């Protein structure tokens, strides 16, 4: 079974082809350069760029797999959450293609896409497990007791984890995306030189908070600390915060299998610290941690059997919660 997956939820146009649960093609057209000079994603520009590239990208992906559109068995696209104008491009394109080809269409929740990306190389994993999604737009910790059931344990109270890396990087005069830049600079720094506290220490729940760290980075710069030392301390504290929340959730639920997904899942310090906590961890393979279309096709492969009866009638949605608290 060939599935085409499309994601245009933010500033990357993602197109993926999955055959029987295996990723064959994963193409992402990044808009980073387009938005860079504005210091953030400009929604209208993102939509226009998606419109420009989506069809060519799908044709390229099909060509790479040696397929014609008619060979597709199913078409899936991100329904939400995300920037509505951006979402509409991929979602409407997917619906239109499915309608024209007379093939089934599957709307996919973006966060479910991230979760199934972490399972791409672990088909043996079964619920119950915990799923941490840490990206530029989201920081959510879910308990997944059964396939398709999501209990939100905690989310960020302010900035997303990746957003915090991006904002700290900007303050430090580094490029975008900030995560890899901070990671690189942190290697040359000495974290012990900068006083910066782990957020929400001593909390009973599973919330995350990163906006205080951003302010603390600005203050440390004012005090004249070296950027490399600040980067090292920022990363150490951000990672420790995430690890504390995840390990407490693991103890609380009695679950030791944890999927870690989203752009921040690529952070080596985070991986190392979580591994040291003795958890059974699943990470997405290379290229599937950040936003992409293959993860949407993977989610559709796993969920199409329980997909809604009239998907064409479901509108795209900027705000779309996954599961219940
Ligand atoms: O999943 P993604 O494409 O974002 C959204 O869905 O919003 O991930 C991008 C985010 C950026 O904020 C980026 O700084 C962060 O993931 N990121 C990292 C690393 N690589 C990417 N954060 C920390 N360490 C990294 N190595
Ligand atoms: Zn995402």
CATH number listed for the domain at residues 127-283: 3.30.420.40
> What token pair was written down for 315?
């509108």
CATH number listed for the domain at residues 2-116+288-313: 3.30.420.40
- Strand order across the 139-146 sheet: 149-155, 139-146, 129-134, 257-261, 280-282
Reported pTM: 0.96
Q: Indicate if the pLDDT at residue 294 is higher than 90.
A: yes
Ligand 1 pocket at CB < 6 A: 10, 135-137, 162-163, 165-166, 177-180, 183, 262-264, 266-267, 290-291
- Strand order across the 22-30 sheet: 22-30, 12-19, 2-7, 74-80, 105-109
pLDDT of 325 reads: 46
- The bound ligand whose nearest atom lies closest to the alpha carbon of 162 is 1
Chain length of the chain: 325
How far away, in angstroms, is 57 Cα from ligand 1 center?
A: 23
Does 2-116+288-313 match 127-283 in CATH topology? yes
pLDDT of 176 reads: 84
How far away, in angstroms, is 73 Cα from ligand 2 center?
A: 25
Domain extents in the chain: 2-116+288-313, 127-283
> How many CA atoms does the CB half-sphere of 17 hold within 13 Å?
20
Nearest CA to ligand 1 atom 14: 179
Residue at token pair 């799908």: 58
**How many percent of the chain have pLDDT more than 70?**
99
Contact 308, 283 (CB under 8 A): no
Is 20 annotated as ligand-binding?
no
pLDDT tens-digit series, residues 248-257 = 999 999 999 9
- The Cα–Cα gap between 141 and 154 comes to 5
How far away, in angstroms, is 306 Cα from ligand 1 center?
A: 30
Q: Considering the chain, what is the average pLDDT of its residues?
A: 96
Contact 22, 42 (CB under 8 A): no
């Amino acid at each position: 079974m060939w599935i085409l997956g499309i994601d245009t939820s933010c500033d990357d146009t993602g197109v993926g082809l999955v055959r029987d649960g295996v990723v064959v093609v994963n193409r992402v057209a990044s808009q980073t350069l387009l938005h860079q000079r504005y210091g953030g994603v400009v929604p209208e520009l993102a939509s226009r760029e998606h419109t420009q590239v989506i069809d060519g990208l799908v044709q390229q992906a099909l060509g790479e797999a040696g397929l014609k559109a008619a060979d597709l068995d199913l078409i899936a696209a991100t329904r939400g959450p995300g920037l509505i104008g951006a979402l509409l491009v991929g979602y409407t394109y997917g619906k239109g293609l499915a309608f024209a080809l007379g093939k089934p269409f599957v709307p996919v929740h973006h966060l479910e896409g991230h979760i199934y990306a972490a399972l791409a190389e672990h088909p043996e994993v079964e619920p119950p497990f915990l799923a941490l999604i840490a990206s530029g737009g989201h920081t959510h910790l879910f308990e997944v007791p059964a396939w398709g059931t999501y209990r939100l344990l905690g989310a960020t109270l302010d900035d997303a984890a990746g957003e915090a890396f991006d904002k700290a990087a900007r303050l430090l005069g580094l490029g975008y995306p900030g995560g890899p830049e901070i990671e690189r600079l942190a290697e040359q720094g000495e974290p012990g030189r900068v006083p910066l506290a782990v957020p929400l220490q001593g909390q009973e729940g599973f919330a995350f908070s990163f906006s205080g760290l951003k302010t603390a980075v600005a203050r440390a710069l004012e005090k004249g600390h070296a950027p490399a030392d600040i980067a090292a301390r920022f990363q150490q504290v951000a990672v420790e915060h995430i690890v504390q929340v995840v390990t407490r959730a693991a103890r609380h639920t009695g679950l030791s299998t944890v999927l870690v997904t989203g752009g921040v899942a690529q952070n080596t310090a985070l991986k190392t610290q979580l591994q040291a906590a003795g958890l059974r961890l699943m990470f997405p393979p290379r290229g599937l941690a950040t936003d992409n279309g293959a993860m949407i096709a993977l989610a559709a492969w796993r969920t199409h059997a329980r997909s809604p009866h009239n998907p064409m009638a479901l509108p795209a949605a900027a705000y779309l919660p996954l599961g219940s608290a």
